[in-house]
Structure 1
Amino acid sequence: MKPIKFSIHALSYKVKRCFTESEVEDTIRNSEWQDAELGRLECKKDFKYNKIWNRKFYQTKQIKPIFVEEEDDIVVVTVYTYFF
């Protein structure tokens, strides 16, 4: 599989959106891809969380990267996280 690279925008949100590069890579490599807006792709994966985030306890964290598949690599444009 192609190497995964991260845009500066995506990396700038790692702390604010609480995700790791390895979680995003795992999600892209092991989840079904779907078409997203603007010709991009997306996928999602649930991870056990069992921690407090923004003063509330959550059992699950869902990672949803938005990315493009280029000729030589995959570029992550942004990453959304959902807690439940």
Structure 2
Amino acid sequence: MSGGGRFSTELHHAVAEVCQQNGYGLLSRVVVAAEVVDDDGAIGLLVGSSPADLAVWDRVGILRYALLDIEADVAAGRRHGGKEEE
């Protein structure tokens, strides 16, 4: 399942507002992957981006960059004897 034009615009405005309220500056691009549950209880994956026409290689790049950042935090925690968050 993927978000379209209106979804993309609303996503951008919502994330931009949260970023601004928390001092993260101006939002440039956003990619979101979310697990959603419909009215029948079926689970699905929602992937959305803003701008809506964000190239697939840019979406993949942002997601991979985020994954590497998370993996680096986990590795650093293990190296220093801590436990990663569950």
Q: If the TM-score is normalised by the length of the shorter chain, which range does it land in?
A: 0.3 to 0.5
More helix by share: 2
TM-score (norm 1): 0.32
Larger radius of gyration: 2
More strand by share: 1
TM-score (norm 2): 0.31
Report 1 or 2 for greater relative contact order, CA contacts < 8 Å, sequence distance ≥ 6: 1
